[in-house]
């Protein structure tokens, strides 16, 4: 494949081989090799069929997916916009190929945090597929799942859940309980339960998906391993760290054996295990894994790839937990600057990294610098996500902690009451996040000398958590 053939028939076959090779390399985690083959396939097909040839458009779509995997959002977007425009002109706005390319463009918008644009396209694709293909067609259900993911990112979990239940029920009826697509939709619904703190329901679905996947697909199938990762996340959230660790070690070892040490999925599972080690206080083990992941991603993907930046961010948190403030700060500043350049100052990942740097400043007693960053994060999240989005509320809580540390107790209280009231309305009075915010307000009351009010809140939180623990035990 190194030497391009000269005859047109051979050239066409060669381009097809390159295209298929790019797909296989992408699936295997070899992104650089995939990009090289997709690019050569596209250039060859451009020569053979012109810019508007369907084969050329397929190669461009493939190349855009690879750019997305590399975090090259703008290049992916440019290619996808071009594909959408050509297919609209050639086939019409509601042609199946046009809808597929619109769905791809929506995915790129979603990764960029441009959720309104993603939602607009996804609603358009879903409605057209419903009209053209029917409510229970696989492509219609897939587009409903994509829209649910965008709702999920926007914190619109009720709307996401409604779609996901509909997709799951339809797939159960059409495909059966143990079909791979049914299991995938059950896994997605479990993640929504997880995000909204309905951990018992998340666990119940997660166990069901994992057990069925093991029986139908085998212990080392990618879907089985993904279900184990999701269940481990639920265990992690409920503090069952030994059970989470056991699953994560199993996933990591299997991926190492099946995919290799430097495959993206292997590195992801190493990162998950490191987070569990950190939560357990095993900071040396966490750091060792995180350094290995970061170094491998730098070598494989480059220093400014989103996955590399995530691993730098994770290592910085471990450094902070070890009291290595200078090293944590250096990494966090580097991540913020790169994300601002690559993603923009108001991207969710940029804001998350700013929030983490603020925590490092706070731990060092640099409260004015922490406050400055936290105010900036709150204002941006309010504008981008709305005042009652989970991320907005989390940032308000962080600023309240900084106010408390500064002795600005009335301002801290004001924020904490606002967070509690919103969480009670959005999540319910016994949600984990609601209880956590009540605990924070109790700390502020204690600092104000309002001990009876503090004690009342603490008892309320304790009793609610005790009831929740009893329910969990009864379910097991």
Alpha-carbon distance of 319 to 263, in angstroms, equals: 25
What pLDDT does 156 receive? Answer: 87
Tell me if 463 is assigned to some domain.
no
Are 287 and 323 a contacting pair, CB within 8 Å? no
List the domain range (segments joined by +) for residue 208: 177-238
User: Among 281, 314, 342, where does a domain finish?
Assistant: 342
Tell me if 311 is assigned to some domain.
yes
Asked whether residue 253 falls in the same domain as residue 338, the answer is yes
Widest pairwise Cα distance in the chain = 87
Asked whether residue 206 falls in the same domain as residue 254, the answer is no
pLDDT in tens, 262-272: 999 999 999 99
Asked whether residue 223 falls in the same domain as residue 257, the answer is no
Are 430 and 406 a contacting pair, CB within 8 Å? no
Asked whether residue 226 falls in the same domain as residue 304, the answer is no
Asked whether residue 259 falls in the same domain as residue 323, the answer is yes
User: Among 316, 342, 368, where does a domain finish?
Assistant: 342
Asked whether residue 283 falls in the same domain as residue 338, the answer is yes
Tell me if 48 is assigned to some domain.
no
Asked whether residue 187 falls in the same domain as residue 225, the answer is yes
> Which regions of the chain are under pLDDT 70?
1-3, 468-476
CATH number of the structural domain spanning residue 336: 1.25.40.10
What pLDDT does 468 receive? Answer: 64
pLDDT in tens, 22-62: 999 888 888 889 999 999 999 999 999 999 999 999 999 99
Tell me if 260 is assigned to some domain.
yes
Tell me if 259 is assigned to some domain.
yes
- Structural domain count, the chain: 2
User: Among 309, 342, 375, where does a domain finish?
Assistant: 342
Residue closest to 326 by CA, chosen among 356, 291, 367, 360: 360
Tell me if 403 is assigned to some domain.
no
Tell me if 277 is assigned to some domain.
yes
Asked whether residue 338 falls in the same domain as residue 253, the answer is yes
What pLDDT does 147 receive? Answer: 97
Asked whether residue 274 falls in the same domain as residue 334, the answer is yes
Distances from the Cα of 290 to the Cα of 28, 173, 294, 340, 351, angstroms:
22, 43, 6, 23, 22
Asked whether residue 271 falls in the same domain as residue 334, the answer is yes
Tell me if 205 is assigned to some domain.
yes
What pLDDT does 472 receive? Answer: 47
């Amino acid at each position: 494949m190194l030497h391009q053939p000269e005859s047109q028939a051979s050239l066409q076959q060669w381009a097809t081989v390159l295209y298929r090779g790019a797909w296989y390399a992408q699936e295997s985690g070899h992104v650089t090799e995939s990009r090289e083959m997709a690019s050569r396939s596209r250039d060859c097909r451009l020569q053979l069929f012109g810019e508007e040839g369907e084969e050329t458009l397929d190669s461009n779509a493939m190349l855009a997916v690879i750019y997305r995997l590399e975090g090259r959002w703008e290049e992916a977007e440019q290619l996808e916009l071009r594909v959408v425009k050509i297919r609209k002109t050639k086939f019409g706005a509601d042609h199946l190929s046009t809808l597929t390319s619109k769905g791809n463009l929506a995915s790129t918008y979603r990764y960029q945090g441009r959720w309104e644009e993603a939602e607009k396209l996804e609603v358009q694709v879903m409605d057209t597929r419903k009209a053209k293909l029917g409510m229970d067609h696989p492509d219609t259900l897939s587009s409903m799942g994509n829209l649910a993911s965008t709702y999920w990112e926007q914190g619109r979990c009720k709307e996401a859940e409604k779609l996901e239940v509909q997709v799951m029920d339809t797939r159960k009826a059409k495909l059966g309980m143990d079909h791979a697509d049914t299991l995938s939709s059950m896994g997605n619904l479990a993640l929504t339960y997880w995000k909204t703190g309905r951990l018992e329901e998340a666990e119940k679905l997660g166990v069901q998906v994992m057990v069925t996947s093991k029986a139908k697909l085998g212990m080392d199938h990618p879907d089985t391993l993904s279900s184990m990762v999701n269940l481990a996340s639920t265990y992690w959230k409920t503090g069952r760290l030994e059970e989470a660790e056991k699953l994560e070690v199993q996933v990591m070892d299997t991926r190492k054996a099946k995919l290799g040490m430097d495959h993206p999925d292997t590195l992801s599972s190493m990162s998950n295990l490191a987070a569990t080690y950190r939560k357990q206080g095993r900071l040396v083990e966490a750091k060792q894994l995180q350094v290995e992941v970061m170094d491998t991603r730098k070598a494989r993907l480059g220093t400014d790839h989103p996955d590399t930046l995530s691993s730098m961010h994770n290592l910085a948190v471990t450094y902070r937990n070890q009291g290595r403030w200078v090293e944590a700060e250096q990494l966090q500043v580097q991540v913020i600057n790169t994300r601002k350049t690559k993603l923009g100052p108001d991207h969710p990942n940029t804001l998350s990294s700013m929030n983490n740097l603020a925590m490092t400043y706070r731990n060092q007693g640099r409260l004015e610098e922490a406050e400055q960053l936290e105010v900036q994060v709150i204002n941006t999240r309010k504008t981008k996500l709305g005042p009652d989005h989970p991320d907005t509320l989390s940032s308000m809580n962080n600023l309240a902690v900084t106010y408390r540390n500064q002795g600005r107790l009335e301002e801290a209280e004001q924020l904490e009451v606002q967070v509690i009231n919103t969480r009670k309305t959005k999540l319910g009075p016994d949600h984990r996040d609601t209880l956590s915010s009540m605990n924070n307000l109790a700390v502020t009351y204690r600092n104000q000398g309002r001990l009876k009010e503090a004690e009342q809140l603490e008892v309320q939180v304790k009793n609610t958590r005790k009831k929740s623990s009893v329910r969990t035990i009864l379910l097991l």
